Copies of this chain bind each other. A is one copy, B any other.
Amino acid sequence: MPDEAARKKMALDYAQRINAGDIEGVLDLFADDIVFEDPVGRPPMVGKEDLRRHLELAVSCGTHEVPGPPMTSMDDRFVVTPTVVTVRKPRPMTFRIVGIVELDENGLGHRVQAFWGVTDVTMDTAVGTAVDTARDEPEAAGTAPGTDPAHPEGNRA
């Protein structure tokens, strides 16, 4: 089983590869039977082809992830990472997300759950200028017109 350091490295590699647009590199972090639930509460993506489409969309939207310190668990299975995710398209938005990855005995992710809700999304006023209004106006993000707050990229492929 992957130790705590290996699990934390996996989470940081994930963000680094997403930010680099390295889709194949991201896919290498996961098992073939990956179940990727993003966000929790929507039907998960299952398998690498599903995940590849999701990643291609994410990269095409200019997704950038800034992970906080990953945490683990006492059962050799999980890595848990609070992350601030920004996208440029279809409009600038910021998402606060906690990602939980369950790894298999080979250190590959086989289940991902991304926890975030409508009130964890912020519409940004300009590219590169994230204005976090979510804490003061919890409903603002979810009711902004012309966007799909159900997905970081704005639209599920």
| Residue numbers in B under 8 Å from A100 (CB-CB) | 100, 115
Stretch of A17-25, A51-59, A117-125 contacting B (4+ beta carbons < 8 Å): A117-125
A77 interface hit (Cβ, 8 Å)? yes
Contacting residues, chain B, for A73 (C-beta < 8 A): 39-41, 115-117
**Within 8 Å CB of A8, what residues of B?**
119, 138
How many A residues are at the interface, by size bracket? 20 to 34
A15: Cβ under 8 A from any B Cβ: no
Contact B78 A119 (CB under 8 A): no
Determine whether the beta carbon of B4 is less than 8 Å from that of A78. no
A98 contacts which chain B residues (CB < 8 A)?
71, 80, 82, 98
Docked CA distance A98–B40 (Å): 16
A interface list, Cβ under 8 A from B: 4-5, 8, 39-42, 68-69, 71-78, 80, 82, 96-98, 100, 115-120, 135, 138, 150
Give 24 CB contacts A-B under 8 Å: A4-B119, A4-B138, A5-B138, A8-B119, A39-B74, A40-B74, A41-B73, A41-B74, A41-B75, A69-B96, A71-B82, A71-B96, A71-B115, A73-B115, A73-B117, A74-B116, A74-B117, A74-B118, A74-B150, A80-B98, A80-B115, A82-B82, A82-B98, A100-B115
